[in-house]
A = this chain, B = another copy of it.
C-alpha cells in the first residue's frame, strides 16, 4: 500500500526529469529557495542567502529566474505538477472510488511528509497574499480538487457514496481535513505517520462520527 519507490528525505523540490537545465544550478537554486523560504518566510527570505546556499553568485539567480517571485512560483509549480502527475497515474491502478480516494489521501500526506521544508512553504506561503502567489497556485488547487471530485462522482455512480452530498463539498472537506493534518504537523513538529493518518481521516470521511445512521 505504501509508496513502493524509495522516498528521499532531503528537503528538495522533487526534481524534474524533463529539463536538466544548465548543470543543475536551476535545481540547486530551487532547492535552496525552498529551504530558505521555509526558514524565514518568503518576504524575509533574502535572494543573496538563496544564492549562497545554492553555491552561486547573486546575479546567477537572475539567469535562471525572472525575479524572486518566480523562484517561489516555479518551486510550487514543480511540486504540484509532480504530485499531480503521480496522483493521476496511481489512481489508475485501482478501480474502486473508495480505494482511489484513500490512495490520493495517502499520496497527499506522504509527499509532504517526505519534504518538510516544502510542506512548510506550501502551508504558509501558498496561502499568503491573496493577490500574489495565490492567484496562480489556486489553479493547481482547482485541478487537484477537480480530480477528487471526479473520483467522488465515480463513487456515486458506483453506488458507494451518497448522492445527496455535493462532490464539491466532499472534495473540499477531504482536502481541508488533510491539509489541516499537515498544518498541524508543520506547526507542532509532532511525529507524523502519513499512512496511518490518511487512513484515519478517510475513515471519518467515509463513515462519519455518529454511532449509527439512526441517530442522525
Interface residues of A (CB under 8 A from B): 38-41, 43-44, 98, 120, 123-125, 127-132, 134, 138, 152, 155, 159-162, 165-166, 169-170, 172-173, 175-181, 183-184, 186-187, 197, 200-201, 203-213, 215-216
Q: Which of B38, B205, B215 contacts A204 (CB 8 A)?
A: B205
Residues in B whose Cβ lies below 8 Å from that of A152: 209
Q: Is the CB of A162 within 8 A of B211?
A: yes
Judged by DSSP, the binding face of A is helix
Residues in B whose Cβ lies below 8 Å from that of A175: 180
Q: Which residue of B lies closest to A145 (CB)?
A: B184
How far apart are A177's CB and chain B's nearest CB, in angstroms?
A: 4
Q: Is the CB of A40 within 8 A of B211?
A: no
Q: Is the CB of B204 within 8 A of A213?
A: no
Q: Which of B130, B173, B209 contacts A161 (CB 8 A)?
A: B209
Q: Could you say how many copies of this chain the assembly holds?
A: 4
Given contacts A124-B129, A211-B160, contact A181 B176 (CB under 8 A): yes
How far apart are A7's CB and chain B's nearest CB, in angstroms?
A: 23
Cα–Cα, bound, A40→B134 (Å): 12
> Besides A41-B132, A173-B176, A212-B213, 10 other CB < 8 A contacts?
A39-B131, A44-B132, A123-B127, A155-B209, A166-B200, A169-B200, A173-B173, A176-B183, A205-B208, A208-B208
Cα–Cα, bound, A40→B130 (Å): 8
Query: Of residues A39, A134, A209, A212, which shows the largest number of chain B Cβ atoms within 10 Å of its Cβ?
Result: A209
Q: Which of B44, B134, B179 contacts A124 (CB 8 A)?
A: B134
Q: Is the CB of B129 within 8 A of A40?
A: yes
How far apart are A166's CB and chain B's nearest CB, in angstroms?
A: 8
What are 16 pairs between A and B in contact, CB < 8 Å?
A40-B131, A41-B128, A41-B132, A43-B129, A124-B129, A125-B128, A160-B210, A160-B215, A161-B209, A176-B178, A176-B179, A177-B177, A205-B209, A206-B216, A208-B208, A213-B213
